[in-house]
Amino acid sequence: MESLAGKWAVVTGASSGLGAAIAKALAEHGAHVVGVARRFPVGKSIAAVGGIAVAGLDVRDERAVVELFQRLARVDILVNSAGGAIFRPFIDTTVEELRSLVDTHIVGAFLCARAAFQLGCWRRRLNR
């Protein structure tokens, strides 16, 4: 991977799994990483290699997402990795649990992408 020095990245779902691995890799390659998640035990390892960890963001919360992006001067990379799973038989899954998954996987990704575009984080790059 090429150097990402000076680039700003937002990684959702950065507390574990793929999101944590991506956030760490981006930071190791020079990016300033804003890692967000509802829980954030990996924050110290991201901070140790130059990233910035933001704990406590639920991507399903539109106001919180908009406030996060308003605090950022720019975003060069957005990784929507927030997610979840239900580990029991399908027949035992409730509608509320399904809605929570859809809201995290789909609505959360939409809210983050829309907030970045609305605030002009990428607009100038697209209009070259």
Model pLDDT for residues 19-46, shown as the tens digit of each residue: 989 999 999 999 999 999 987 755 566 7
pTM of the model: 0.85
pLDDT tens track for 69-115: 998 888 999 999 999 999 999 899 999 999 999 999 999 999 999 99
CA dist 95 and 17 (Å) reads 25
Nearest to 52 by CA among 3, 11, 4, 18: 11
